[in-house]
Structure 1
Amino acid sequence: MYQLYYYPLNASMAPHFILEELKADFELIKVDRKSNAQKSQDYLALNPVGRIPTLIDNGYPIFESPAICIHLSETHPSSNLIPETGSPNRALFFQWMMYLTNTVQAELMIYFYPQKHTKDEKGTEDIVQAQEERITEMLELLDNELEGKEYLIGDSLSACDFFLFMLSVWADEFKRPPLSFKNLSLYLKKLAQRDSVVRVCNKEGLSLKDYE
């Protein structure tokens, strides 16, 4: 049985989607960020970077959300959540997974934690504004990529789709949120109908009313 150390609506959400999609046997273990439990000695023994999530697979911890998503997809090849070796879509899978985590997610982290990126507290508002503009451009790129497509890669669902859904949830309070983009909105609303997404959102306390 897997164990997923998580906190609602955090980077653990994408692995949580995948575990539900796989109908895997897993246990959710909440890490209380409000009390900084991710920095506790017990948690650091599993994940030395002190961030959420961590997956325990047969006693072995794995951290970093995209790594967990890829591991779960590779471990369950029949799910087709990652294109098989030799498929031209496999390179696209890694391209978009890296873009989502190394670019979009990284820029969102600056947006949410601007104080970590300046020694001038008066400059945090400018950082937030600049980041929202940068990330909105990324959403435009993704919206264009989804023109006429049901999924981000090829004709089938992949782990990248769950990762993009998670990041879109994080950006839902932007002046131009993901749901304001034509293609991205259709895409997200379709994903929101999946049983796995509904189950995770129920468990993590996210209303899907806006996706109806």
Structure 2
Amino acid sequence: MVDLTLYHISPSRSLLALWMLEEVGAEYEVKVLSTERDEQREPAYLAVNPMGKVPALVHQGTVITEAAAICAYLADAFPEAGLAVPIGTPARGVYYKWLFFGPSCFEPAVIDRMLKREGGPRGALGWGDTDTTLAVLEAAVRDRPFLMGDRFTAPDVVIGGGLRWGMATGAVEKKPAFEAYVARCSERPALKRSEERDRAEAARAASA
């Protein structure tokens, strides 16, 4: 019996969770929600995630939401995949920093720019300003293969996926450091499998 179920919409942030599930190599089920039918707002799904958003992952009856939290959870739940940093080491703090940097700094900063709503009081914004956020991230990926050095870890799913989206939509400038980092992430076999699974699940849902 499969004990991992991902509630998914394509395209959406749940693509990160799909990628992470492929990285850990666990068997899982995907339940695709239709935005055309507004299924993410129906009572059945709101009972899973009252926010009415994806992703939501159910593991042995426990619901985990928020893409970065799901990536962190899966990295710890499946340590054999080698996607986490050991608890009790200083590097674990840096690992947490990048996991949280994605949803708390990178994503809101970029969306602010996309929606042309930049300019609020810098001290009131958790990310400060978009230029600084992107500069910090650029410096982090310029001189190392991945965020934690030579080894790919869960934060690279969160940040790498975010940068792929940002550059694909034109919201993030295609700087050499970003392009090289995203190219390395894009070579992950698990990412390619997740894209294949996404297409297959979307086609299956459309024909249902």
TM-score by length of 1: 0.80
**Pairing partner for 2:197 from 196, 203, 210:** 203
Q: Which runs of 5+ in 1 are unaligned?
A: 115-125, 206-212
Is 1:66 aligned to residue 68 of structure 2? yes
Spell out, residue by residue over 1:142-199, the C-alpha distance to the aligned partner (whole angstroms, 9 max, x if none). 111112201101321111001112211321222653xx21122111101111111111
Structure 2 letter corresponding to 1:163? V
Structure 1 128/200 Cα, relative in aligned 2: closer, same or farther at 3 Å?
A: farther
- Assess if the C-alpha contact under 8 Å between 1:146 and 1:152 holds in 2: yes
- Assess if the C-alpha contact under 8 Å between 1:143 and 1:182 holds in 2: no
**Pairing partner for 2:178 from 179, 184, 188:** 184
Output aligned runs, 1:114-193, within 5 Å: 114=115, 126-127=116-117, 134-135=129-130, 137-171=132-166, 172-174=168-170, 176-177=172-173, 180-193=174-187
Please report how far the alpha carbon of residue 22 of structure 1 lies from its aligned counterpart in structure 2 after TM superposition.
1.4
Structure 1 49/21 Cα, relative in aligned 2: closer, same or farther at 3 Å?
A: same
CA distance in 1, matches of 2:181, 2:140: 11
- Assess if the C-alpha contact under 8 Å between 1:39 and 1:50 holds in 2: yes
Output aligned runs, 1:7-156, within 5 Å: 7-110=9-112, 114=115, 126-127=116-117, 134-135=129-130, 137-156=132-151
- Percent identity reads 22
Q: In structure 2, the residue corresponding to 1:162 is in which secondary structure?
A: helix
CA distance in 2, matches of 1:70, 1:188: 20
Aligned residues: 188
The match for 1:123 is: none
* RMSD over equivalenced CA pairs, Å: 2.2
Q: In structure 2, the residue corresponding to 1:146 is in which secondary structure?
A: helix
CA distance in 2, matches of 1:72, 1:176: 28
Structure 1 101/80 Cα, relative in aligned 2: closer, same or farther at 3 Å?
A: same
Spell out, residue by residue over 1:44-80, the C-alpha distance to the aligned partner (whole angstroms, 9 max, x if none). 0011111111101012221111111111111111222
Q: In structure 2, the residue corresponding to 1:196 is in which secondary structure?
A: helix
Q: Which runs of 5+ in 2 are unaligned?
A: 121-128, 200-208
Structure 1 70/189 Cα, relative in aligned 2: closer, same or farther at 3 Å?
A: same
Structure 1 letter corresponding to 2:190? S
Structure 1 letter corresponding to 2:75? S
Structure 2 letter corresponding to 1:184? F
